[in-house]
Structure 1
Amino acid sequence: MTIFETAVRPVLFRVGGGDAERAHEFTLGRLAGLGSGARALLRRRYAVSDPVEVFGVRFPNRVGLAAGMDKNGVALPAWPALGFGFVEVGTVTAKAQPGNDKPRLFRLRESEAVINRMGFNNAGAAALAERLRALGPIGVPLGISLGKSKVTPLEEAVQDYLTSYELLHPYADYIAVNVSSPNTPGLRTLQDKSALAALLAALVGKVPVLVKIAPDLTEPAIAELLEVCLSSGAAGVIATNTTLSRDGLAGPDQARAAEAGGLSGRPLTERARKIVHFVHEETGGRLPIIGVGGIVEADDAARMFDAGAALIQLYTGFIYRGPALVRAAARARP
């Protein structure tokens, strides 16, 4: 086990009396406060150089931070120092919103999993744009995940996404279109063929646009979605978001199975990998894939690359394994 697992993680898991969201905010605050000297020390330990170009963007390595970890971009300079080759902020919405009622984030330790029903809590696209303008480049590619504001009717979703896009695309190396979170009512209907085509018609053009898909879609539904992505000029696919399934939970965690929200982490490992493989086969490699879901060990990263992912992202695995996982995953060979 690493120092993070034996010494750091137990402390973080006790923050706020074990409240996962308070620990998350505490961690972001500490990372945001790291000075340049501390970041340089971390970079020497964790950074891995393995450059690759995907959808026209050059990445210093293949491992990124998934959306949801740093929604408002408050700790952006820290993530490259921890070894990440790219960072995705958000999901951000056109209108600032508090998200769902608390508690809304739960650790399932025996399963190395998390359930969240955050509900796109964020300060809004304008606030993120101002932060990014003031900060400047962070040294690695930046992705920005866009979602629909909860108060916006589905029939006005395109304009809602477009508002965020116009504010934020000047700061993005790519835009991720999140139409697959289970925590905003009706959002997943935007994965339907006509709705997705209208959305991509409005957004594709200025920077690479990727579509993030749900792991709960059937293969025929995924195939239809991929047809829209290819015909609409999407630059790639992010597979996958969190799942509504509760399969694979360890015995002690079954008591949490009734909690509403999306499940991430180890129970999603095989499902996410199979979807990445399906997307790769279905498109003949024409759509680059960012693989995300259940990557908890370096071998999970290697298998995700073998399945067809060009890049991968970490979220829950990082919570349980820390920056050593970033380094190990970046050294895993596709």
Structure 2
Amino acid sequence: MYARLKPLLFRLDAEQAHHLTLGACALAQRLPGLSSALGALTRPTQAALRQHLWNLEFASPLGLAAGLDKNGEALGIFSNLGFGFAEVGTVTPRPQPGNPQPRLFRLPPDEALINRMGFNNAGLDALAVRLRGPHAVPIWANIGKNKDTPNDTAVDDYLAGVRALYRVADGFVINVSSPNTPGLRALQHADELRALLAAVLEEAEEQRVLSLRPALPVLVKLAPDLSDPDFEASVDAALQAGVSGLILTNTTLGRAGLRHPHREEAGGLSGRPLAQRSTELVRRAYRQTSGRLPIVGVGGIFSAQDAYDKIRAGASLVEVYTALIYQGPGLAQRVNAGLLALLARDGLNHISEAVGADA
């Protein structure tokens, strides 16, 4: 079905097609029993893919990255496509419109996207309502700061996110690496990052006590454009602060090798061109931390082999977004089936045995 719809969607502006698809999924999930039936058909049941991390169960190591469903509008569908978990957001304390349109661009020959969305979202209060109730898979809230919040008070925005969503989310991702909010990436420098994460973790502990919920994981997402010394320092800062894991990586400002005319557009690049760089940073972080800090690998995953490369480099989990735009909703099932085949080929009984095998 998606093969027939894709040419029609690709005739539309990328953001228009995105909202059309999101709206259709939001409507579809209201049909009684549809979401659960979809999950029963797509969610993997093989023990070889199942993992227990941070007191959460992951039926698959493959997750949906932040950015697709910023406001949690269609989680009934997206959490039932075969993914083991999903991120919503990036969400900011107050609603904000984001950057002027157009701000999302497809690069089909490069199997890539460029976006300069600018954290457009409906705010914490709206997301908190949508996240109420049981989730089909673990749902992480990706939190950031409002555009007009200065960096010296940015911590307040992240603390607000933890307070508002602790009772309804299954974990948090601290986004300090989007290239589309001015000054945001300065927060991932070692000293600033260490202080920010320490404050967030303290707030998370307070909310754990108040809510009587188990401790929720707090991960930090880093950019692929850091220099090697800066990347190493940021990983050390995250480890010293005591975060639960790393997400590697966010979008890149690099444009090497792109062919499509949209390569000149400003914003963060995602998709196939990011694969090699993000996998290499997964490997470096795994080595640097001696495998003590779980890593989520994201960037350029279009196939089971792409996912497996990141897992063998050191990722316990992986995420996709851009490939879903190009390949459609059957992607998760294909990757899950392919991962099982790759494990069997290598004589491995469980996905955890592959984590870091090439690092």
TM-score by length of 1: 0.93
Alpha carbons 2:106, 2:262 under 8 Å: kept: no
Specify the SS of the correspondent of 1:144.
strand
Provide the C-alpha distance between the structure 2 equivalents of 1:284 and 1:24, rounded to a whole number of angstroms: 40
Gaps of 5+ in 1: none
Establish whether residue 220 from structure 1 lines up as the match of residue 229 from structure 2: yes
Specify the SS of the correspondent of 1:323.
coil
Name 2:350's counterpart in structure 1: none
Name 1:27's counterpart in structure 2: 21
Deviation at 1:224, TM superposition (A): 0.7
Gaps of 5+ in 2: 209-215, 344-353, 355-359
Name 2:114's counterpart in structure 1: 115
The alpha-carbon distance between structure 1 residues 248 and 42, as it changes in their structure 2 partners (threshold 3 A), is farther
Q: Kindly provide the CA deviation profile for residues 21-78 of structure 1, in whole angstroms up to 9, marking residues without a partner as x.
A: 0100011111111224433443344221232012332212111110000000000111
Provide the C-alpha distance between the structure 2 equivalents of 1:45 and 1:320, rounded to a whole number of angstroms: 22
Provide the C-alpha distance between the structure 2 equivalents of 1:86 and 1:36, rounded to a whole number of angstroms: 22
Aligned with residue 274 of structure 1, among 276, 280, 287: 280
Deviation at 1:248, TM superposition (A): 2.9
* Partner amino acid, structure 2, of 1:104: R
Provide the C-alpha distance between the structure 2 equivalents of 1:247 and 1:54, rounded to a whole number of angstroms: 36
Provide the C-alpha distance between the structure 2 equivalents of 1:42 and 1:126, rounded to a whole number of angstroms: 29
Name 1:46's counterpart in structure 2: 42
Name 1:259's counterpart in structure 2: 265
Specify the SS of the correspondent of 1:238.
strand
Provide the C-alpha distance between the structure 2 equivalents of 1:38 and 1:127, rounded to a whole number of angstroms: 24
Provide the C-alpha distance between the structure 2 equivalents of 1:276 and 1:213, rounded to a whole number of angstroms: 11
Q: Kindly provide the CA deviation profile for residues 74-112 of structure 1, in whole angstroms up to 9, marking residues without a partner as x.
A: 001111221111110000001110000000000001111
Runs of 4+ in 1 over 4 A off after TM superposition: none
Alpha carbons 1:94, 1:160 under 8 Å: kept: yes
Count of aligned pairs: 323
Alpha carbons 2:295, 2:314 under 8 Å: kept: yes
Backbone CA RMSD of aligned residues? 1.4
Aligned with residue 303 of structure 1, among 298, 305, 309: 309
Q: Kindly provide the CA deviation profile for residues 225-269 of structure 1, in whole angstroms up to 9, marking residues without a partner as x.
A: 1111111110000000000001132x3x0x212200000000111
Name 1:175's counterpart in structure 2: 172
Identity between Structure 1 and Structure 2 (%):
50
Provide the C-alpha distance between the structure 2 equivalents of 1:321 and 1:311, rounded to a whole number of angstroms: 20
Provide the C-alpha distance between the structure 2 equivalents of 1:279 and 1:113, rounded to a whole number of angstroms: 25
Name 1:74's counterpart in structure 2: 73
Q: Kindly provide the CA deviation profile for residues 168-204 of structure 1, in whole angstroms up to 9, marking residues without a partner as x.
A: 1221211000000000000000001121111111111
* Partner amino acid, structure 2, of 1:70: D
